[in-house]
Structure 1
Amino acid sequence: MSHKEQLLSAIAGKNRGNLAKEADKVAVLSAIAQLETENPTPNPIERSDLLKGNWRLLYTTSKDLLRFDQFPFLQSGQIYQCIDTEENKVYNIAEIVGVPFLEGIVSVVAEFTPASEKRVNVNFKRSIVGLQRFLGYDNPSSYINKIKQGKKFIPLDFDISNPNSNAWLDITYLDDNLRIGRGNRGSVFVLTKN
């Protein structure tokens, strides 16, 4: 079994990390470290052809993302990170499910600037929160197109710019359909391209 297959096996059934016990977390982080040593793309920032597109979150240690499942009657659906390398923008989209007809969405728009061959600095710009049906959400691509066209979503569409932000992300593994990132807050992200 390849290291990539070992990682995918280790994260299977862990609900993006919500169901991971301590022993699972150790095994996943070990599998991630093994796979990172085999990174086929040593300069991922230069490979916009591989980076761009819609990525779906498979596993994370980010408490911010894992806490969506802590609310009564609500749980996270799919979580996406959509990268536009032409405009240097990132669209983070978390689908919230649970109560019928009250499916929600939490999204953040950010800009990124390359800092090295594997690191990008991230500046969060805008947050949009609401019910999927009121926002006209069908899928990440159509939703992002509405944002790019300048659509404002009332009532919870607000500016979150912070010029003093020190957020960054290292891309430590990148191939045609798998990406691993490590953030400035110590979080790990494993994503697959849709």
Structure 2
Amino acid sequence: MIGKAELLEAIAGKNRGLLATEQDKQAILIAIAQLEDRNPTPRPVEAAELLDGNWRLLYTTSKSLLNIDQLPLLKLGQIYQFIRAKTQKVYNIAEVYGLPYLQGLVSVAASFEPISERRVQVKFHRSIVGLQGLIGYQSPVDFIQQIEAGKKFAAIDFGLDSRNQQGWLDITYLDENLRLGRGNEGSVYVLTK
């Protein structure tokens, strides 16, 4: 039986999935499924104290995230997800690196609504794409505080039509420092606090 340590070992060195071979992906999916079977939090959506917080992506199969690395001259950096359970808000940040002084970021602000004990409906409301230097980006925590305060940025900063920009996510494993999820496009996510 595979546990947390084995899953973390399987995804180590895979650069959030960018370096995973097809064989790696299959082994990781098996490890994820086995860990999901032992989820210590049977109703993760209701476990606000565990769900709430600042998460960092360790592994994903999401093509929309991994394809950022395919843009010319750009490399995908860290990816963060901040969940504010009390206000049902979620903020995603993908740091992007490339040529000197051209570090960028792609960020999305969304809200979520529980629709079952493990599924949330996610509605995307705002997208921010720009250069870290022009935005004044110092850290993910500082940036999220600015978004929550309503700051407008010197970037491509626009609202999204949440009727068209939405999806769902199943939280399939949740403990004090690890979260697994499966999205509506068939992607898996492994995050740590």
TM-score normalised by structure 2 residue count: 0.96
Give the SS at the match of 1:146. helix
Q: Which residue of 2 aligns with 1:113?
A: 113
- Distance (whole Å) between structure 1 residues aligned to residue 19 and residue 170 of structure 2: 25
Matching of residues 3-82 of structure 1 within 5 Å: 3-82=3-82
Unaligned runs of 5+ in 2: none
- Distance (whole Å) between structure 1 residues aligned to residue 96 and residue 164 of structure 2: 30
What is the alpha-carbon root mean square deviation over aligned residues?
A: 1.2
Aligned length: 193
Q: Which amino acid aligns with 1:5?
A: A
- Distance (whole Å) between structure 2 residues aligned to residue 121 and residue 135 of structure 1: 30
Q: Which amino acid aligns with 2:125?
A: K
Q: Post-superposition shift, 1:164?
A: 4.5
Runs of 4+ more than 3 Å apart: none
- Distance (whole Å) between structure 1 residues aligned to residue 139 and residue 38 of structure 2: 33
* Contact 2:134–2:155 (CA under 8 A) maintained in structure 1: no
Summarize the Cα distance change of 1:165–1:71 in structure 2 as closer, same or farther, 3 Å threshold: closer
- Distance (whole Å) between structure 2 residues aligned to residue 163 and residue 106 of structure 1: 21
* Contact 2:7–2:28 (CA under 8 A) maintained in structure 1: yes
Q: Post-superposition shift, 1:74?
A: 1.2
Greater shift, 163-172 or 84-93, is seen at 163-172
Q: Post-superposition shift, 1:154?
A: 3.0
Q: Which amino acid aligns with 1:179?
A: R
Q: Which residue of 1 aligns with 2:128?
A: 128
Give the SS at the match of 1:67. helix
- Distance (whole Å) between structure 2 residues aligned to residue 121 and residue 167 of structure 1: 6
Unaligned runs of 5+ in 1: none
Q: Post-superposition shift, 1:72?
A: 2.6
* Contact 2:2–2:34 (CA under 8 A) maintained in structure 1: no
Q: Which amino acid aligns with 1:118?
A: R
Give the SS at the match of 1:122. strand
Q: Which residue of 2 aligns with 1:170?
A: 170
Q: Post-superposition shift, 1:165?
A: 4.7
Q: Post-superposition shift, 1:134?
A: 1.1
Q: Which amino acid aligns with 1:123?
A: K
- Distance (whole Å) between structure 1 residues aligned to residue 112 and residue 8 of structure 2: 28
Q: Which residue of 1 aligns with 2:98?
A: 98
Give the SS at the match of 2:19. coil
* Contact 2:179–2:191 (CA under 8 A) maintained in structure 1: yes
For the pair 1:87 / 2:87, whether they are aligned, the reply is yes
Q: Post-superposition shift, 1:161?
A: 2.0
- Distance (whole Å) between structure 1 residues aligned to residue 159 and residue 139 of structure 2: 23
- Distance (whole Å) between structure 1 residues aligned to residue 182 and residue 128 of structure 2: 24
Q: Which residue of 1 aligns with 2:141?
A: 141
TM-score normalised by structure 1 residue count: 0.96
Q: Which residue of 2 aligns with 1:180?
A: 180
